[in-house]
Amino acid sequence: MNFEQLNQHVFGDRLASRWPSSMSRRGDDMAMSALRAQKKALRKDFTARLARVTEAELAAQSQRVTEKLFQTPSYVQAGRISCYTSLSVGEIRTDAIIRDALARGKAVFIPYCPPESKTIMRMLRLLDVHAFDELQANRWGIRELASDRQSIGGEALDEDAMLDMIIMPGLAFDQARNRLGHGRGYYDRYLDRCHALASRTATHPPLTVALALTEQMSHTPLPVDEHDRKPDMILYAGT
Ligand SMILES: Nc1nc2c(c(=O)[nH]1)N(C=O)[C@@H](CNc1ccc(C(=O)N[C@@H](CCC(=O)O)C(=O)O)cc1)CN2
Ligand SMILES: Nc1ncnc2c1ncn2[C@@H]1O[C@H](COP(=O)(O)OP(=O)(O)OP(=O)(O)O)[C@@H](O)[C@H]1O
């Protein structure tokens, strides 16, 4: 509920309409900064919690979640998938997934965040397993295609081609499938592009599958803003 709706709720239509709009805008701004502060505190908590997950635990959960994905019919059927390249801590490992998808002949795309932008993420095609083995860690330690390879395999949404599935990371998730990321809105913006393309070309947007460690599942509801898109499915070791 925003400030205007709250006024409406508490004071009814006539009184609410007397509040100057600058006042309700200020209320919205205050709600936004409270939400941002809340997200920031949660990111700190989850980052600390995830740093304590042992290597053995991470490997075991990654294997369990990977098996679950392999048993998911929409994964088996997907011809074009995007998958994140996992960090060494705090995320379900995706190496086995990427290798499997390439071996099955799927078109595989991985995220590329150009350093000149703080908001744009592209999905670049990983042509084969050799390209995967040669990936270099970027400024955040995330494996990406080097810039000289960028044009080789093309981009996922080039020529209006849609993705069938997006396998996405996150920092925390809740029971209502809300997702808290690292705070750049990369995936929310990318999904906006997919949805715009889907409506323009009368196709379906990709199925979004988030992979989570049990330590990433929040017992309390996460804060959400109007841009946040829920993944269609969350796979974690507990389910
Ligand atoms: N493995 C993996 N790949 C991914 C993501 C992810 O979450 N995991 N992303 C999901 O979106 C994108 C990268 N997202 C990022 C979001 C925020 C910052 C960031 O705020 N960096 C800080 C410094 C590092 C830090 O705070 O830890 C900065 O640049 O100021 C970096 C990457 C694309 N690839
Ligand atoms: N689709 C969008 N269009 C415009 N701004 C957006 C969009 N999605 C997110 N933002 C803005 O980007 C900032 C970061 O968003 P948010 O905190 O939701 O990131 P996140 O989903 O946690 O991170 P990430 O997707 O990078 O893992 C916020 O200021 C948010 O308002």
With respect to residue 38, please indicate whether it lies within any of the assigned structural domains. yes
Question: Does 77 map to a domain?
Answer: yes
User: In this structure, is residue 149 part of a structural domain?
Assistant: yes
- Whether residue 1 lies inside any domain: the answer is no
For residue 191, which of 105, 121, 138, 130 has the smallest C-alpha distance? 121
| Neighbour tally for 130: CB within 10 Å | 9
Residue 36 lies in a domain: yes
- Residue 96 belongs to domain spanning: 21-236
Number of separate domains in the chain:
1
Span from the CA of 182 to the centroid of ligand 1 (angstroms): 6
CATH number, position 75: 3.40.50.10420
16 in a domain, yes or no?
no
Q: Which residue matches tokens 């994905």?
A: 69
In a domain, 8, yes or no: no
How far is C-alpha 44 from the chain's CA centre? 18
Q: Residue-wise pLDDT tens for the chain (239 aa)? A: 443 443 344 333 444 445 556 667 788 888 899 999 999 999 999 999 999 999 999 999 999 999 999 999 999 999 999 999 999 999 999 999 999 999 999 999 999 999 999 999 999 999 999 999 999 999 999 999 987 666 788 999 998 999 999 999 999 999 999 999 999 999 999 999 999 999 999 999 999 999 999 999 999 999 999 999 999 999 999 86
Predicted model pTM: 0.90
230 is in an annotated binding site: no
* 113: in domain: yes
The bound ligand whose nearest atom lies closest to the alpha carbon of 194 is: 2
- Residue 229 assigned ligand-binding role: no
